[in-house]
Amino acid sequence: MAHLLIVRHGQSVWNLENRFTGETDVDLSPLGEQEALRAGKLLKPHPVDIAYTSVLKRAIHTLAIIKVQTGWRDLPVIRSAALNERNYGLLQGLNKAEVAQKYGAEQVALWRRSYDVAPPQGESLKDTYERVVPYYTAQIEPQLRAGKSVLIVAHGNSLRALMMHLEQISPEKIALVDLATGVPRLYEFDASLRIVEASYLPHRKGVV
């Protein structure tokens, strides 16, 4: 039975500062490092054969911490820009609260949570879906069909796009789906790559 584990990177410096990050290459905050450490503790009982990540340092750093914590030092890792966070265009680097004051909370919510409305000069979730899912289908799905267990460490929107594909989530309902930083989600597939179970890894006793 193949397994897929997805993890959103730990809190970044700009997450902490409540700024739109997008494809800006910022690193983890101290809390983000702790979240990655905790993710490693949760992942340790679920060994994987190969890992994929974006080319952004917050995802790469999260995976590096996970590898040390799990002892998977020799785990093969493939990086791809296809898994990058969505590009927030002109909003990148701006404080979310200040943007809401300027444009209104409703407009900002539309940019952030809608499926096909893009921020100025940026990507919509639909745009993100159209690069993430073909990459998953061409590069990652064959690994799962071969019976391998796969780990993906990426970003809130690139992983939400993948969740839409895997779980057949509608464009309307994806607006209600959020993926917490550093919390692994496990998919178990049957031989036909149908999902048998999908769940977040529990915070086991003693794991903090």
Tokens of 83: 């898994």
157 is in an annotated binding site: yes
Full strand arrangement of the beta sheet holding 77-79 = 77-79, 50-53, 150-154, 3-8, 185-189, 195-200
Provide the b/e sequence for 131-161 (b: ≥16 CB within 10 Å).
bbbebbeeebbebbeeeebbbbbbbbbbbbb
10 is in an annotated binding site: yes
112 is in an annotated binding site: yes
9 is in an annotated binding site: yes
Point out the residues that are catalytic.
Answer: 9, 85
Q: Does residue 136 sit in helix, strand or coil? A: helix
87 is in an annotated binding site: yes
58 is in an annotated binding site: yes
Q: Which residues contact 180 (CB under 8 A, 6 or more apart)?
A: 8
131 is in an annotated binding site: no
122 is in an annotated binding site: no
- The whole-angstrom separation of Cα 104 and Cα 97 is 10
- Binding-site annotation: residue ranges: 8-15, 21-22, 58, 85-88, 96, 112-113, 156-157
- Binding-site annotation: residue ranges for substrate: 8-15, 21-22, 58, 85-88, 96, 112-113, 156-157
